[in-house]
Structure 1
Amino acid sequence: MPESPAYSPANAAPRWSLMRQRWSNLLFAHWAVEPALLRPYLPERLELDLFEGQAWLGVVPFTMSHIRPLGLPAVPGLSALHELNVRTYARLDGVPGVWFLSLDATQPLGVWAARTLFHLPYLHARMQLTRTGPTLQATAERTHRGAPAATFAAAWTPGDALPLAEAGSLAYFLTERYHLYTAGPTVQPGQHGNSIWRGRLWHAPWQLRTATLQHWNSTVVESHGLPTRPGPPLLHAADALDVWVEDLRRV
């Protein structure tokens, strides 16, 4: 299966997609992790995607808005949510993608749809993401019945624009991902089903920025039974962009 087509002015958006969204107020926070620590969180068929022999674990808060499924207009009250996901990276048949350990979100109907129709491990949460001057603040509290408790609070200031990430660089590996994998809505390692779905996304390249962290207090990684990550994360803030969900297929 080929990669999603690269962005170009002549290829400004897919002709058809399952859903359109806009992602904004986004922070990529990553830690290098020993592969053996994350391997149990993936189904056997999925290969853990490594950068120079190292696995990476990410925590990503952002706002999703302008949500429009199947070419329909946005529905007031249902077209925006805040999200906080915990992720690593995987590949199947040579196709790299994102593997989500969990996705906490604020829109109950959106959580239901993502779990039911897209087989993704979305969880109900209370979350706020606000801006004071140049600084963004995000807070979250998981409220999903039966899921491990988790809280999150962070503040960061986006800085200077970075050059577009080049293929082969760590920034590209961590952010330029045009596929996702899921095996159902469970967040418990070792309890995934045999079915794997691969979703394909399309968007222009990320305009990444430096970021300065003012505050970080989180238990979302620990809620998965993983140890607290030592040291500060590698940070990339990102400008808003439009995203098209092109398809979701069982593989």
Structure 2
Amino acid sequence: MTVPEPVSRTSPRPVRRTVFTQGWRDVTFLHWAVDPAVVAPLLPAGARPDELGGATYVGLIPFRMRRIGLLGAPGMPWVGSFAETNVRLYSVDEQGRRGVVFRSLEADRLLPVLAARWVAHLPYLWSRMRVEREGDQLTYRSDRRWPGPRGAGGTVVVRVGDPLPEPGPLARFLTSRWGLHQTTGRRLAYWPNEHPAWPLYAADLLALDDDLVAAAGLPSVAGAPDSVLFSPGVDVRFGPREH
């Protein structure tokens, strides 16, 4: 079994050609530790659960997408900006590349949802969503429209705390992800990205009413998360998919 690459706060594989750009803003990271055997059947063939201390993690990540741009062109201000929430797992492939596997990605713009599903083959879903901020408190709301199960969603409320000048091993493991794994044409593909190191903050979870994790095939994941983090965000470049 290949040893995973070291966890690095900057990309170990710089993107040489830009396929598209995104801005990720007001990002909250909620994570639950789980037995790797729970998520292994949900990963594409050729990827296995990435582990830290014998556990892997399930992430619920609400945020604001800002100005998606294609092929280096300026980002689109309206159609490319929307609220999003994803449920993701942590993966490593036979080349040792660490990444994520998306189980679902909620977004409140229909056109990007359709494009991502049909062109990029990512599990995007159309939802009513809002992100509200009052001082150091953020509220994320989602309510799935299409495809089902209709009404899946919930509310996340967090209070942002102090910056983390030196994130610990778990925070680095969860946020230092430089690509996503997915199956394309019956082969495992890796879609690399690069961005500055995440500016991370401690955060307190004030309220959580969620069924997106269960709808993503993980009904046994419940209770208070094991990690709560916040970031004001980063700008991201994606390169061409690799095998």
Give the TM-score, by structure 2 length.
0.88
Check the 8 A contact 2:106/2:125 in 1, yes or no.
yes
Query: Does 2:210 correspond to 1:209?
Result: no
- Residue 101 of structure 1 is matched in structure 2 by 103
Tell me whether 1:112 sits opposite 2:114 in the alignment.
yes
Counterpart of 2:66 in structure 1 is 65
Residue 34 (structure 2) aligns with: 33
Residues 130-176 of structure 1 show CA distances to partners (whole Å, capped at 9, x for unaligned) of 1112211100011112446511201111110002436xx11111011
Residue in structure 2 matched with residue 82 of structure 1 by the alignment:
83
Structure 1 stretches of at least 4 aligned residues deviating more than 3 Å after TM superposition: 1-8, 13-16, 146-149
1:185-240 C-alpha deviation (Å, 9 max, x unpaired): xxxxxxxx723221101001111100011111000111134224133441011122
Conserved 8 A contact 1:4-1:202: no
Task: Find the aligned partners of 2:189 and 2:16 in 1 and give their Cα distance.
Answer: 22
Structure 1 unpaired stretches of 5+: 185-192
Q: Which piece of structure 1 moves more, 72-81 or 42-51?
A: 72-81
Equivalents in 2 of 1:4, 1:110: separation in Å? 31
Asked if structure 2 preserves the Cα contact closer than 8 Å seen for 1:208 and 1:238, the reply is: yes
Question: Structure 1 residue aligned with 2:227, among 216, 223, 234?
Answer: 234
- Give secondary structure in 2 for the equivalent of 1:236: strand
1:190 match: none
Aligned residues: 237
Q: Is the 8 A contact 1:221 1:227 kept in 2?
A: no
Distance, in Å, in 1 between the alignment partners of 2:161 and 2:9 is 26
Unaligned runs of 5+ in 2: none
- Note the C-alpha offset of 1:183: 2.5
Alignment match, 1:127? 129
Tell me which moved more, 171-180 or 76-85.
76-85
The more displaced of 198-207 and 219-228 is 219-228
Q: Displacement of 1:55 after TM fit? A: 1.2
Match of 2:163 in 1: 161
Against the structure 1 CA distance between its residues 148 and 54, is the aligned structure 2 distance closer, same or farther, given a 3 Å change threshold? farther
Residue number in structure 2 paired with 1:246: 239
Q: Relative to 1, partners in 2 of residues 1:76 and 1:26: Cα closer, same or farther, differing over 3 Å?
A: closer
Among residues 181, 202, 221, which one is paired with 2:213 in the alignment? 221
Change (3 A) 1:216 1:111: same
Question: 1:107 deviation in Å?
Answer: 1.3
Q: Percent identity?
A: 33
Deviation at 1:14, TM superposition (A): 5.1
SS in 2 for 1:177: coil
- Measured on the aligned residues, the alpha-carbon RMSD in Å equals 2.5
Q: Letter of the 1:171 partner, please give it.
A: A
For the 8 Å contact 1:164–1:206, the answer to whether it is kept is: no
Instruction: Check whether the contact 2:20–2:239 (CA below 8 A) recurs between aligned residues.
Output: yes
